[in-house]
Amino acid sequence: MNTIIYLFLFSLYVWGAVLSYEDEIKEIFPREKMREISEKGTEEIKKWVVKKKRTVPDRELFKSSVILKNLSLVRKEAPMSADYIYEKLTENSGYLKPMYSQMLALYRSGRDKEAFKLPAKIIGTKAAGNFALILSKLDKLNPAELVEQMNIFQSSMIEKQVTYAVKRTQKNSVIITALSALSVFALLINFVVVVVFMDSLKMLSSIFV
């Protein structure tokens, strides 16, 4: 949310600067160059939107791993079938419920391989691929082994989130620095304009006095 606010404020600064110095900008940046900058900016925004959309499924996958881990701990003396696990994932999931429901249907119709490919196909993240690999071994894993697999999966996701948080903090710092620099630049420009305007007034006064 903070990143969105910073980007919004930065956009306002840039838009104000463009409106104030439109003619000067046109001289410095030809129309083709401005179009190129605009296209790059649009592409970056699209990448950011796609990344945000992938964050929700990954968070749901982590929740699914917690469900599997808890099931394994509760039923540690009784191995669970893949059918039973898919049922529980379908019952306890939100965003990914349609995917698990489809996986369960494919599994029951004997199309195991198609079912295991769904997470990577629908979500398209590395975490989804790793989770699908674990799901493909459900009938071969005992509860203790499944708990171990879930621990490894959760650790990898936590590490990824920590790395992402660090990068996000660094990006926020860059944005804040850029906004501060732009503010100083705007103040300097305004100061120069006022000085030039005052000098012009003095010159006109000396001419007409």
Identity of the residue numbered 209: V
Dihedral sign for Cα atoms in the order 33, 35, 39, 41: positive
If we measure between CA atoms, which residue out of 108, 124, 111, 115 comes closest to residue 54?
124
Residue 58 is part of which domain span? 2-208
pLDDT one-digit tens code per residue, 4-48:
555 555 555 555 555 555 555 555 556 665 566 555 655 554 444
Averaged pLDDT for residues 166-171: 64
Query: What confidence tier does 197 reach under pLDDT thresholds 50, 70, 90?
Result: very low
Averaged pLDDT for residues 131-160: 87
pLDDT above 50 (res 204): no
If we measure between CA atoms, which residue out of 69, 98, 96 comes closest to residue 85?
69
- Angle among Cα 47, 50, 54 to the nearest 5 degrees reads 135
Total domain count for the chain?
1
pLDDT one-digit tens code per residue, 97-120:
999 999 999 999 989 889 888 888
